[in-house]
Structure 1
């Protein structure tokens, strides 16, 4: 069950926008700091290919950590779960997404899950390809298929901004290389990862990708199986347990759907067997999640009871 009209959806966006003043944009990445605190848009793409939207849904934004789910799906398809989870764990963490502490204190010394930065870097390192270019082209082609949009690319200025400031991520990579969690050249990996995070799309594209996960890996647009059902299930489980950083437990209780956020203000939501949700609201709370986006999802969940629990 979801909004029946765009007017209804617009009224919920208007209500959720009231909280955007209490958040801040991600200015620690200089290029992301230029976003407007007041932006909030949403698209809901149903499995019958009907769509509802509200706000400026044509405004593009970068995926940032939402890309972690898509890279994970590709790498699980490349290698299978057994190989992937030798290098990355499956457990949630109460630490911030960019924390390095568990790498040192956790035995074996591997990232706790693929949704924190250390785990995502290890996953991206596993994308198959003989060259950096081949690996990037495979990832981008996969994302384009998921959104059914061949025009999707990445924002070069944001990728460069992240590459030049990613000292903590580099530190994690060097630490993991010592334990053979990371195998490839660190600078090439950082370039691939920052381009991955800078893949750019609008809310409707993101809702369409969410709809693929809602349909267990089947594209509602083309009827092609893009992700095997079991891999889609694994990805959705990680979204529930780890997708909203160290606010994932609270999110599961209040909203109760698989979702993944990014520090650009994007949120991809999945209501299984019903629809995908794409949200853009760059004003973030202290955990790094879109403050308006979470409020909007709370309003939607309260009104339409779409929790999976």
Structure 2
């Protein structure tokens, strides 16, 4: 495993920050439209040693679709593989993450995978709880465990903004409810989903979550098991095949590591045998991935020969 030094992070972050001009912040969620494109940060949490970081590493952002990895792990722990994959498939999709097209042509409307919005909604619908408050608390408890930070919470402004504008996700949910993929109240489901997406972290905390997955579900500091190793393996596999939206194939060729992005501009990635790496830059490309994050990971992965392929 090639060692990563803090100077590596500073060097490549400085080298790629100009790419922020090549994208734009997510403006379809009003609360995210205010993010400043020039903000960027990176952190690496190794399995041995202390976290290193560069840029505005204390800046908090919402994790958005990165939460899909966490809720998938939670649903697998709570219900097992058979129950989860009875509701959602395992195959990548070439369609955008928000697409409804495959639900219309596949019977009985089963989402292709847990990393697209339809699949993530189906997974979130499975989280235990008598109401949305209890379900959100289940997700927060897992994130707090993975980050070793009891103060983790969601950004109420972003959650409210997403809830009020989640018309397409409501459409996906109602379509799946018609086909029996999800049950219960759609409004409660959207409430949970928008709050899980609005969980607020910085790159150091996000890198620690990546390190747990890199360590096969064990705490990188204590080596205590936090999630089962087979659950960590399933999540990492989905990150490789579906984690970067419909740019996952290109990312696998050019970078070749498990990663999951969110439209806030965050990317969580996993270095096999090494640790967790998180990058943040809110300017997005046309697929919804951070342009600074994509360039950073490509440069560093090629230099360090990280590809698992």
TM-score tier, shorter chain, comes to over 0.9
Aligned to 2:109: 109
Cα deviation digits, residues 122-156 of structure 1 (max 9, x gap): 00000012222221111101110011111110000
Cα deviation digits, residues 22-80 of structure 1 (max 9, x gap): 10000110100101111211000000142221100100000000000000000000000
Question: Which consecutive residues of structure 2, in runs of 5 or more, have no partner in the other structure?
Answer: none
**Does 2:262 correspond to 1:262?**
yes
Normalised TM-score (structure 2) = 0.98
Aligned to 2:288: 288
Q: Is the Cα–Cα contact under 8 Å of residues 213 and 272 in structure 1 kept in the other structure?
A: no
Aligned to 1:163: 163
Q: Is the Cα–Cα contact under 8 Å of residues 75 and 123 in structure 2 kept in the other structure?
A: yes
In the alignment, the residues of structure 2 paired with residue 18 and residue 91 of structure 1 have an alpha-carbon distance, to the nearest angstrom, of: 35
In the alignment, the residues of structure 2 paired with residue 296 and residue 2 of structure 1 have an alpha-carbon distance, to the nearest angstrom, of: 17
Structure 1 residue 194: Cα displacement: 0.3
- Matched residue count: 309
Matched residue of 1:153: which SS? coil
Matched residue of 2:182: which SS? coil
In the alignment, the residues of structure 1 paired with residue 267 and residue 215 of structure 2 have an alpha-carbon distance, to the nearest angstrom, of: 18
Q: Within 5 Å, give how 1:178-217 maps onto structure 2.
A: 178-217=178-217
Aligned to 1:253: 253
With 149-158 and 104-113 compared, the bigger mean Cα shift is at 104-113
Matched residue of 2:44: which SS? strand
In the alignment, the residues of structure 2 paired with residue 274 and residue 252 of structure 1 have an alpha-carbon distance, to the nearest angstrom, of: 18
Q: Is the Cα–Cα contact under 8 Å of residues 25 and 283 in structure 2 kept in the other structure?
A: yes
Are the structure 2 counterparts of residues 182 and 306 from structure 1 closer, same or farther at C-alpha, using a change threshold of 3 Å? same
**Does 2:130 correspond to 1:130?**
yes
Aligned to 1:12: 12
Aligned to 2:151: 151
Aligned to 2:54: 54
Structure 1 residue 107: Cα displacement: 2.2
Q: Is the Cα–Cα contact under 8 Å of residues 30 and 161 in structure 1 kept in the other structure?
A: yes
Structure 1 residue 273: Cα displacement: 1.8
Matched residue of 1:217: which SS? coil
Matched residue of 1:308: which SS? coil
With 5-14 and 261-270 compared, the bigger mean Cα shift is at 5-14
Are the structure 2 counterparts of residues 109 and 237 from structure 1 closer, same or farther at C-alpha, using a change threshold of 3 Å? same
Aligned to 1:228: 228
Matched residue of 1:206: which SS? helix
Matched residue of 1:37: which SS? coil
In the alignment, the residues of structure 2 paired with residue 243 and residue 305 of structure 1 have an alpha-carbon distance, to the nearest angstrom, of: 20
Question: Which consecutive residues of structure 1, in runs of 5 or more, have no partner in the other structure?
Answer: none
Q: Is the Cα–Cα contact under 8 Å of residues 131 and 188 in structure 2 kept in the other structure?
A: no
Aligned to 1:40: 40
Q: Is the Cα–Cα contact under 8 Å of residues 108 and 179 in structure 2 kept in the other structure?
A: no
In the alignment, the residues of structure 1 paired with residue 91 and residue 149 of structure 2 have an alpha-carbon distance, to the nearest angstrom, of: 33
With 250-259 and 271-280 compared, the bigger mean Cα shift is at 271-280
Structure 1 residue 298: Cα displacement: 0.6
- What's the C-alpha RMSD, in Å, of the aligned pairs? 1.0
Q: Is the Cα–Cα contact under 8 Å of residues 3 and 9 in structure 1 kept in the other structure?
A: no
Are the structure 2 counterparts of residues 111 and 4 from structure 1 closer, same or farther at C-alpha, using a change threshold of 3 Å? closer
**Does 2:82 correspond to 1:82?**
yes
Structure 1 residue 2: Cα displacement: 4.9
